Chain A
């Protein structure tokens, strides 16, 4: 948000003597719209928790870590445990894969790339950001899944099979691993464009000063660029994490479905968002539906924490840089 001098007479809230009906009208209508927007947020939170109430009152807080999902009448038991695990493991590994690539591309674009290459590569990253998630999911089902299943999973299992993560590969293209790759591809543009802007924003004097001291390019990046951009990159990562956690459609297309807590990335699984997407329409009972909304409530809380944290980091960093810039001559 641009910083605004609120005490300026042009911006002061309406208090004046000349009472124009139009002024009152505009301010009222605009205030109502803003109140409506705020109310919308509260309404969403309320509706979600209200919808989950039958499940919350039945299962309480233990729902969150209980890894079970049985809709059969007479033995109903619902819990978010396996989906929370799925969300955690897919988002974490997606971030792990995407971050070095994203930072690498950002560094490449700001420091290393020849002028001619910068435009097309930037355009490529922006185009990927524009691809809707359902299309990435389509690509995941028809192109990525079979390729991973036929080549990569087998190779990874052969080379690293002693790690529980790379257990026996699945014959189906759908797996947690496919979902991880899909999510990594989706968050790559976000993290890389934010990083690129941060790197571009590092003051030239700092960079040139370091180089004048005789550092190599890498030492300059490590010593000046990274520390300067550190906070912003943290925010970018958390934003990417929030995106990965909330993605429902692309994940449900490629993740395979399952109520398990397996460490094997090549097995099928489900995340909070993808479980809601696949089951909500056909929920077998009120308790089933309320439990799915409970999953939504957990997802909402996680996303909000991620987003508000990212915003807070951005504000802290902006303040620090503002002070720093003001402090130096």
Chain B
């Protein structure tokens, strides 16, 4: 064996052994102080930024650690159904089959945010691109294939759009953002409704799949000419370009806190299962600044669960105005949930017992 090869091998062996020793020592030191309770949750990546703020804040005030795994709304529903976690998080409400499979599960709306069409077009900066529902549907149906298509140019006079091919990006995992996005497209495009429909996972007519909101963000950031839909917090975090959407009232709005709050006003009465859809708010003056792709996000728990006391305390805490305002800033762009929904949420939460 050549001497150089041997020395390299010995060196890397020693290095590996040293790293191993440090790893053991370091991870033992990194172990947190003993906590009385841990509640485990999994699901929606849309609400993950909120939980990233809520978790540490709650831990600093109480003795409880909140462990959250951002795996997508679909996986959250599957996890809570299988009782792999104490709570599931999903932006999409349970459909009848899922509700039946989950048994005594209840869904409680605990945050309000939105999904945003996000793009990467050379020369077009953030907030510059304007889109309408039908045009967006046609893009994702594969009917509009280039950025300088007449239908896009018609609504973007004054913006120079390149003749670049459009690549659509979508979620490959079961996603609440997909649910909200396809719910909206189904409402603004009959073709979409009949050809594709709405769910946490659909049969996309084309495009590239990304795992989680961060996966789609990665695809868009690295693919010129791409457009996808991402939760607004990820758009901000990754400094991507978001589009203006034309709402039913005829205004081109951005996904800001006030715009999302306006959309939430569509809810006049909360149904018993808390299932609400606030995409595509209607035409009236109340919604003239509403963002048409807003969505509530739910925490799903079993009515009868051994972790009931800890879960109730945490979710009540999350529903308080103070906690809601913690996440309603220009960075995370959640909006405080309306009073009406808050009341319904707390009523549902009261049903949870050990």
Contacts and interface: CB of A to CB of B under 8 A. Distances in A.
B78 interface: yes
Interface in A25-78: 68-75
Interface string B1-13: 1100100000000
A286 B73 CA distance: 16
Contacts of A174: 208, 219
Contact of B208 (A71, A257, A285): A257
Contacts of B268: none
B223 A284 contact: no
Interface string B151-176: 00000000000001101010011110
B289 interface: no
B173 A284 contact: no
Contacts of B206: 258, 260
A167 to B, nearest CB: 12
B92 to A, nearest CB: 9
Interface in B284-318: none
Interface in A73-127: 73-75, 116, 119-120, 123
A70 B203 contact: yes
Contacts of B1: 119
A256 interface: yes
A231 to B, nearest CB: 31
A172 interface: yes
Contacts of B204: 258-259
Nearest to B218: A141
Contact of B202 (A72, A170, A283, A289): A72
A286 B175 CA distance: 17
B41 interface: no
Contact of B201 (A119, A268, A279): A279
A285 B223 contact: no
Given A146-B222, A170-B167, A258-B209, A281 B78 contact: yes
Contact of A278 (B172, B199, B222, B223): B172
B275 interface: no
A282 B208 contact: no
Contact of A173 (B73, B169, B200, B222): B222
B208 to A, nearest CB: 5
Nearest to A174: B208
B64 interface: no
B226 A74 contact: no
Nearest to A287: B97
A279 B172 contact: yes
A171 interface: yes
B95 A73 contact: yes
B87 to A, nearest CB: 16
A171 B201 contact: no
A260 B209 CA distance: 13
Interface in B200-216: 200-204, 206-209, 211
B52 interface: no
Given A146-B222, A284-B74, A73 B208 contact: no
Contacts of A284: 74, 77, 95, 98, 174, 199-201
B202 A285 contact: no
Q: Name the interface size band of chain B.
A: 35 or more
Given A259-B203, A281-B71, A282-B71, A171 B226 contact: yes
Interface string B53-85: 000000000000000000111110110000000
A116 B2 contact: yes
Nearest to B74: A282
Contacts of B78: 281-283, 289
Contacts of B199: 71-73, 284
B10 to A, nearest CB: 13
A282 B165 contact: no
B74 to A, nearest CB: 3
B281 interface: no
A172 B219 contact: yes
B196 interface: yes
Nearest to B92: A284
B49 to A, nearest CB: 19
A274 to B, nearest CB: 10
Nearest to B224: A171
Most chain B CB neighbours (cut-off 10 Å) among A68, A170, A171? A171
B173 A281 contact: yes
Nearest to A68: B203
Contact of B75 (A70, A75, A173, A281): A281
A289 B225 CA distance: 34
Contacts of B167: 170-172
Given A116-B2, A171-B224, A282 B209 contact: no
Given A170-B167, A268-B208, A268-B209, A282 B73 contact: yes
B198 interface: yes
B15 interface: no
B72 A281 contact: yes
Interface in A102-159: 116, 119-120, 123, 141, 146
B124 interface: no
A70 B72 contact: no
B97 A73 contact: yes
Nearest to B97: A285
A123 B165 CA distance: 44
Contacts of A75: 197
B198 to A, nearest CB: 7
A172 B222 contact: yes
A146 B222 CA distance: 8
B98 A285 contact: yes
Contacts of A146: 222
Given A172-B222, A260-B206, A281-B72, 4 more contacts: A71-B199, A72-B196, A281-B173, A286-B101
In the A-B complex, the 10 residue pairs with the closest CB atoms: A282-B174, A282-B74, A257-B209, A281-B75, A282-B75, A72-B197, A70-B203, A172-B223, A72-B199, A257-B172
21 contacts: A69-B203, A70-B203, A73-B97, A116-B2, A119-B2, A141-B218, A172-B219, A172-B222, A173-B222, A173-B223, A259-B203, A279-B173, A279-B201, A281-B71, A282-B72, A282-B74, A282-B75, A282-B77, A283-B78, A284-B98, A285-B101
